[in-house]
């Protein structure tokens, strides 16, 4: 009871004192995600459960799951902004966060989730922003109460899950929709499939740089252009000290500064870049890696590692950016 009263008081105060935020509307096609791009999943892609996907989709765009009912999942992962938010760091119901909202493209292929890899499943990741004090700020028990009391959702959970709404079903429904957020079938695939005119001369040069002296493939490998690892690049280091990164989860000194390697699928659609949003453009990203990133204590670099300076020419940097843009349908 005390928790419910506290949430009611806080949410009422937030709504009364703040300017209402515009929540991104659902403008996606009605059948969005029903058919997934070929070649992304190593085996069969996940089956399409229309009822779960539609429930998760409705929840994704609904601010009901935030403490002030002014923030939805789409507020930080807007389809119009490549399922990011275009800000350097995200702003939630509880204030400004310290991290940039990553795109949700192809998160169904992930092996761990969040910039520091703290969540082992997509369903767990879906629940975290709801209860995070600086994101949506709504305790999960209260979120469940709202759903059970909702004329819109109570019956849907009963029909889809054969039980009243609970945290597990909430996470599962949101994950069912997010799995359908994909990027694939780019001009790069068409080129690799034999359509040599799909890439320009400049983009083909960028592909060669990517696969050779650029050493991009060492981290951005496979069909999803990420190996799902967590790496130290020096991004966001302050006065030579790396940000906490993965160490916030493991408490291991060797994990300080380690952040998730994101997919490059759809990368042109969601600037800025890096976990702190500190690089505003793909040109800035390529320039950062070309100079070898930033050296910080504990990054365990060795000669020949992927973050040694690349010594690319201006033309090679331009070509690499052109190739990265070609990965975005």
pLDDT digits (tens, 9 = 90+) for 263-308: 999 999 999 999 999 999 999 999 999 998 887 665 555 444 457 8
Whether residue 4 is contained in a domain is answered as no
Report the phi/psi class of residue 142: left, alpha or beta, with left for phi > 0 and alpha for psi in -120 to 50.
Answer: alpha
Spatial distance between the Cα atoms of 211 and 295, rounded to a whole number of angstroms: 24
Residue 198's domain spans which residues?
187-326
Residue 16 has pLDDT above 80, yes or no: no
- 91-92/95-96 β-pairing: antiparallel
Q: What is the CATH number of the domain that holds 284?
A: 1.10.760.10
The pLDDT assigned to 14 comes to 42
| In a domain? residue 9 | no
Average pLDDT over residues 188-207: 96
Closest C-alpha to 94, from 129, 122, 118, 119:
129
pLDDT > 90? residue 59: yes
Residue where a domain stops, chosen among 122, 157, 178? 178
With CA atoms as reference, report the closest residue to 123 among 43, 178, 53: 178
Q: Is residue 24 part of a domain?
A: yes
Which of 144, 178, 212 is the last residue before a domain boundary? Answer: 178
- pLDDT at position 76: 96
- 3-state helix vs strand vs coil in the chain, percent to 5: 40, 5, 55
Six token digits for residue 173: 């429904």
Phi, psi of 43, deg, nearest 5: -120, -140
Does 261 fall in a domain? yes
In the chain, % of residues over pLDDT 70: 90
Which residues lie below 8 Å from residue 9, measured CB to CB, with a gap of 6+? none
Q: 34: which 2 tokens?
A: 């029903």
Comparing 194-198, 306-310, 322-326, the range with the smallest average pLDDT is 306-310
Residue 17 has pLDDT above 50, yes or no: no
Tell me: do 136 and 220 sit in the same domain. Answer: no
Give the pLDDT of residue 195.
96
Instruction: Please compute the mean of the pLDDT values over residues 309-313 and round it to a whole number.
Output: 95
Residue with tokens 């109570």: 154
Point out the domain boundary residue: 114, 149, 178. Answer: 178
% of the chain at pLDDT higher than 90: 77
Quote the number of domains for the chain: 2
**Would you call the peptide bond into 272 cis, given omega within 30 degrees of 0 as the criterion?**
yes
Residue 169 and residue 63 share a domain: yes
Q: Are residues 140 and 207 in the same domain?
A: no
Question: What would you report as the CA-atom Rg of the chain, rounded to the nearest whole angstrom?
Answer: 21
What mean pLDDT comes out for the span 230-256? 85
Digit-coded pLDDT (tens) for 96-149: 888 999 999 999 999 999 999 999 999 999 999 999 999 999 999 999 999 999
Between 2 and 213, the higher pLDDT residue: 213
Please indicate, yes or no, whether residues 69 and 174 belong to a single structural domain of this protein. Answer: yes
Q: 3 in a domain, yes or no?
A: no
* 209 and 112 both lie in a single domain: no
């Amino acid at each position: 009871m005390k928790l419910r009263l506290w949430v009611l008081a806080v949410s009422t105060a937030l709504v009364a004192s703040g300017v209402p935020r515009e929540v991104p509307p659902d403008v996606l096609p009605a059948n969005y995600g029903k058919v997934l791009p070929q070649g992304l999943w190593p085996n069969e892609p996940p089956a399409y459960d229309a009822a779960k996907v539609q429930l998760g989709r409705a929840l994704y765009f609904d601010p009901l799951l935030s403490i002030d009912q002014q923030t939805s999942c789409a507020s930080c992962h807007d389809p119009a902004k490549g399922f990011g938010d275009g800000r350097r760091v995200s702003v939630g119901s509880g204030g400004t966060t310290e991290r940039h909202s990553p795109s949700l493209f192809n998160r169904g292929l992930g092996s761990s989730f969040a910039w520091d890899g703290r969540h082992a499943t997509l369903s767990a990741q879906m629940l975290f922003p709801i209860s995070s004090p600086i994101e949506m700020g709504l305790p999960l028990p209260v979120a469940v109460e709202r759903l059970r009391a909702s004329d819109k959702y109570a019956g849907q959970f009963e029909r889809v899950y054969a039980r009243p709404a609970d945290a597990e079903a909430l996470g599962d429904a949101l994950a069912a929709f997010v799995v359908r957020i994909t990027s694939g079938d780019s001009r790069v695939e068409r080129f690799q499939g034999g359509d040599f005119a799909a890439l320009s001369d400049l983009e083909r040069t960028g592909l060669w740089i990517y696969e050779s002296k650029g050493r991009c493939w060492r981290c951005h490998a496979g069909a999803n252009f990420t190996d799902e690892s967590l790496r130290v690049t020096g991004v966001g280091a302050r006065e030579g000290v790396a940000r906490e990164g993965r160490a916030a989860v493991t408490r291991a000194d060797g994990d300080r500064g380690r952040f998730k390697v994101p997919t490059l699928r759809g990368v042109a659609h969601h600037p800025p870049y890096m976990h702190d949003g500190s690089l505003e453009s793909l040109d800035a990203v390529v320039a950062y890696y070309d100079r070898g990133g930033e050296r910080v204590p504990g990054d365990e670099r060795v000669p020949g590692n992927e973050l040694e300076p690349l010594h690319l020419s201006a033309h090679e940097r331009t070509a690499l950016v052109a190739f990265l843009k070609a990965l975005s349908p």
